[in-house]
Structure formats: C-alpha cells, structure tokens
Amino acid sequence: MAITRKPFQGVFNIIRFNWHFYLLSLLLISAGYYFGYLIITSLVLAASMISLMISWYIYDYSDLYELNWIQANDKESLVVNIHAGFDETSLILKSKFSKANLEIIDFYNPQKHTEVSIKRARRAYPVLPQTISADTAHLPLENACADKIFVIFSAHEIRNETERTGFMKELARIIKPGGEIYITEHLRDPANFIAYNIGFVHFYSKKNWLTHFKHAALKLNQEIKITPFISTFIISRNDHSF
C-alpha cells in the first residue's frame, strides 16, 4: 500500500504547529523595517527563510518518509511504533511489515509533555483507532516480545532526563534478544543550528543519546544519516551489561 504525502505537507505542518515562532519573526521583521534596523531585520528574515527551505528539503523533497533505511525480512512477528501523539509513520510501517502484528503506542501526557506544537498536531491528526495510550515508564507489552521498535521524531519530546532514561529501559525490556530499536531524531549539532538557529536547543546531542542508551543497557549498532540533519540510531540490548 503506497502512502502518498501532499506537496509541501511537511513544511506546512511545521508552520501550522509552530506558527507562534513565525508570527514573532514577522513582527520582528516588521518592527525592524519600521525603525530602520535593516541589518537585524535582514538576518531574521534570512534565518526564517533558511529554516523553511531546509525543512522543505527534509520533510518534502527527501525520501525520508519512504523509510528506505528499514529492512524487513518477513520474519518479524511483532513490530512496535511509539509516538508522542503525532503519528505519520504507522501506516508506512504496516505496509513494510505486512505479515507482522503492528502495535502502536502513544505516550503523550499533557501534564509531562507540554509543547504546544504537540497539542496542535494532535488536533490536526487524530491518532489511529488501534493506538494504545501508555506511560513512558510502563509500556503495555511483555518482556522480550518485540522484533523491531520504532521511535521516530518523538523521544526528544520526553524533556525530563530521568523519564527519558526510564523510557529507554522500557524499550530494552520489551525488545527481543537480537531485535532492533530505531531512534530517529534531529541532533543538537552544527547542521541543525544552521537549519533552526536557536531552535536547535529543542534537540539533544549525540552524546546525550548515547548516555541514555548506556544507562538502559542498550548498545549502538549503527547510525544512519538521513539527510545531514537527521540521524537514526539502530540499537539493541547489550546483554553483557546485565
């Protein structure tokens, strides 16, 4: 089953879910021109345009949502997709793992995960009816049951460090020995600073992710760069650390 995205869907969603930032930029640009601060105004305008152009490249032009970096071998019995309330990937994963059972888990908790962009995304895209709501500390699956787990653009929404480590431990608990966990994220690195300037602090560094993996007894098997701005960490249980 082919999943078709609309032209400019990605960049349109970024503007729609984060319109307050772009409104602030517009006000700064207007005020700058009015008061004659042309250099500052030009910098704000350039930063906004660069951000939108790179976002279009990532989310609309690239093959990001074809998920070509995922290899299905038809031996998977349980695939798990975990998100924070904005799910663009479950239908794609189901088409790739057509013979497997797909469990979809939504860990969004408005008391913990307070980003306004998530609330707007949830209103625009209701979760699929088979989605299970769960706490990051208690995923409703048995030990060592999943062949593959996907956490795509959602783990960074867990802003509390202790909660994020606990979530990684839950992933380690439910993945089978030899199974793979895919964590896809922007990183707090120079490329994303160029793309999103100060907004890159919303992401976490590679070092931060590796620390959480280690604390959860997970090991990094491979890092895939999906465009210069996105990394997918393929991790698995490090049974020697138990």
| Cβ atoms of residues 32 and 38 within 8 Å | yes
Pairing of strands 146-152, 218-225: unpaired
- Taking Cα atoms as reference points, which of 84, 107, 82 lies closest to residue 93? 82
Amino acid code (one letter) for 221: N
Residue 241: what pLDDT?
55
- Taking Cα atoms as reference points, which of 147, 153, 162 lies closest to residue 215? 162
Residue 114: what pLDDT?
81
What angle, rounded to 10 degrees, do the helices at 161-174 and 206-215 form?
60
| Cβ atoms of residues 70 and 94 within 8 Å | no
Residue 3: what pLDDT?
64
Q: What domains can you pick out in the chain, each with its CATH number?
A: 9-61 (no CATH), 67-241 (3.40.50.150)
Measured CA to CA, the distance from residue 84 to residue 87 in angstroms comes to 8
Residue 1: what pLDDT?
46
| Cβ atoms of residues 74 and 56 within 8 Å | no
Contacts of 72 (CB under 8 A, 6+ apart): 96, 97, 100
Hey, CA dihedral for 166, 171, 173, 174, is it positive or negative?
Answer: positive
The gap between the terminal CA atoms of the chain, to the nearest Å, is 41
For residue 55, the 8-state DSSP code is H
Q: What are phi and psi of 117, to 5 degrees?
A: -65, -35
Measured CA to CA, the distance from residue 16 to residue 28 in angstroms comes to 19
Pairing of strands 175-186, 146-152: parallel
Q: Return the structure tokens found at 128.
A: 């699929």
- Regarding pTM above 0.75, the answer is yes
| Cβ atoms of residues 222 and 235 within 8 Å | no
Q: Is 101 helix (H, G, I), strand (E, B) or coil?
A: strand
| Cβ atoms of residues 205 and 187 within 8 Å | yes
| Cβ atoms of residues 143 and 173 within 8 Å | yes
For residue 61, the 8-state DSSP code is I
Per-residue pLDDT in tens (0 to 9) along the chain, 242 residues: 446 788 999 999 999 999 898 898 889 889 988 888 888 889 889 999 999 999 999 999 999 999 998 988 889 999 999 999 999 999 999 999 999 999 999 999 988 888 889 889 988 888 999 999 999 999 999 999 999 999 999 999 999 999 999 999 999 999 999 999 999 999 999 999 999 998 999 999 999 999 999 999 999 999 999 999 999 999 999 886 54
